[in-house]
Amino acid sequence: MSEAILLVGGKGTRLRPLTTHTPKPLLRVAGVPLMTHQLARAAAAGVTRVVLATSYLADLFREEYGDGSALGLEVVHAAEEEPLGTGGAIRNAAEHLTCGPDEPVLVFNGDILSGLDIAGLRAGHQASGADVTLHLIRVPDPRAFGLVPTDADGRVLAFLEKPQTPEEIVTDQVNAGCYVFTRRTIDTIMPGRVVSVERETFPDLLGAGALLRGVIDTSYWLDLGTPAAFVKGSADLVRGLVDSPALPGEPGRALVLPGAVVDPQAVLSAGTVVCEDAVVEAGAVVEGSVVLSGARIATGALVHRSVVGREACIGRGSTVVEAVVGDRAEVGPDNQLPPSLRLDCGVRLPAQAVRTSAPVAV
């Protein structure tokens, strides 16, 4: 028996409008919900029981996973009426753990795709006797992350969440959003109130002299919290740049799910996924993109590194680059959308409404 907590209660604000009706961890990445890849990797590492710390659109997690039996896991739902923050969520979810105080508990942020050796992290944690072990990665620009400087033995010296000033950037090592807690350390978090694990729990533990260990890992890692990262993560899974036992097919140039209809004269490339009941017509080109279920890409359209929402439509001859098209939105024929545009759910753009004068580099 090995237990884990998956943090999936965030609102996914940076991915709007995709997250208007679907929580970020349930958005389909390479054909299955992002967190299904995480659950499958955790199961492969020996995790048998997972507590889902939910809040935003919590019921949708129950509908998707129920008791977890479809994945060969025991899944328990711990819904927060009001979001408790990352630390509060871990504390609340821990009420549902069955392990003893000295047992290791894995904790995952619900928006990460990684090739981390999860079983190795847990085994190293137990061997070291640490209170918490943190998975760390090195990044060129650490400002969007939690900075975690360590000493030569891997002992964490400080935790600086989202540094604001150049002086605070003391390292390129950042929190990769996966921890092993010794159960009794979770029990030190104050119950029933909002707590940030990054801004309060980790600094408080360090102040109290606890042993926090950082383990730097160089395997694949990506936080799928922005549209650009989301499409990259999906394309990387489809192309096999990161392994997932949950990939619904073989890695390759593109993945077409059962029920989707792709004309033989359409071109899919760079890790595109076309989900159930979507249609891609003749002459359409779809590169490195996510086409969600029931969407339609019409003849001659070009879709590049974009997400096309459920039942959305890209009209004949239209160009969409690095865009997010919300569920049921419609781009009429012969539009050339400026790069990075986000179209809200249900918005209708008439034919030839937008013609970007600048050539679009694809």
- Where do contacts with ligand GDD occur on this chain (CB under 6 A)? 7-10, 53-55, 80, 83-86, 89, 109-112, 145-146, 161, 174-177, 198, 223, 225
For residue 159, the minimal CB distance to ligand GDD (Å) is: 8
| Residues in contact with 334: Cβ distance below 8 Å, sequence separation at least 6, in sequence order | 315, 316, 317, 318, 351, 352, 355
For residue 55, the minimal CB distance to Mg ion (Å) is: 15
Encoded tokens for 357:
């004068």
Write the DSSP symbol of residue 360. P
Instruction: Give residues 236-275 in contact with Mg ion (rule: CB under 5 A).
Output: none
55 makes contact, choosing from ligand GDD, Mg ion, none, with CB < 5 to 8 Å by partner type, with ligand GDD
Residue 7 or 266 with smaller CB distance to ligand GDD: 7
Instruction: Measure CA 56 to chain center.
Output: 15
Q: Where are the alpha helices (DSSP H) in the chain?
A: 34-44, 58-65, 85-94, 118-128, 183-186, 202-207, 227-238
For residue 250, the minimal CB distance to ligand GDD (Å) is: 29
Residue 84 φ/ψ region, left for φ over 0, alpha for ψ in the -120 to 50 degree band, beta for the rest = alpha
Write the DSSP symbol of residue 40. H
Residue 53 or 257 with smaller CB distance to ligand GDD: 53
Helices and strands (H and E) in the chain: how many: 7, 29
CA atoms within 13 A on the CB side of 133: 24
Interface residue with Mg ion, options 85, 225, 294, 332 (CB under 5 A): 225
For residue 226, the minimal CB distance to Mg ion (Å) is: 9
87 makes contact, choosing from ligand GDD, Mg ion, none, with CB < 5 to 8 Å by partner type, with none
Residue 91 or 296 with smaller CB distance to ligand GDD: 91
For residue 202, the minimal CB distance to ligand GDD (Å) is: 9
Residue 125 or 304 with smaller CB distance to ligand GDD: 125
To which H or E segment does residue 14 belong?
A: none
Please count the other Cβ atoms lying within 10 Å of the Cβ belonging to residue 228.
Answer: 13
142 makes contact, choosing from Mg ion, ligand GDD, none, with CB < 5 to 8 Å by partner type, with none
Residue 24 or 310 with smaller CB distance to ligand GDD: 24
53 makes contact, choosing from ligand GDD, Mg ion, none, with CB < 5 to 8 Å by partner type, with ligand GDD
| Residues in contact with 166: Cβ distance below 8 Å, sequence separation at least 6, in sequence order | none
Encoded tokens for 114:
């990684």
Q: Is 326 in the site for Mg ion (CB under 5 A)?
A: no
For residue 264, the minimal CB distance to ligand GDD (Å) is: 40
217 makes contact, choosing from Mg ion, ligand GDD, none, with CB < 5 to 8 Å by partner type, with none
Residue 224 or 341 with smaller CB distance to ligand GDD: 224
Q: How far is CA 247 from CA 57, 236, 255, 256, in A?
A: 25, 11, 9, 12
For residue 214, the minimal CB distance to ligand GDD (Å) is: 12
CA–CA gap between residue 186 and residue 87 (Å, rounded)? 9
Site residues (vs Mg ion, CB under 5 A)? 111, 223, 225
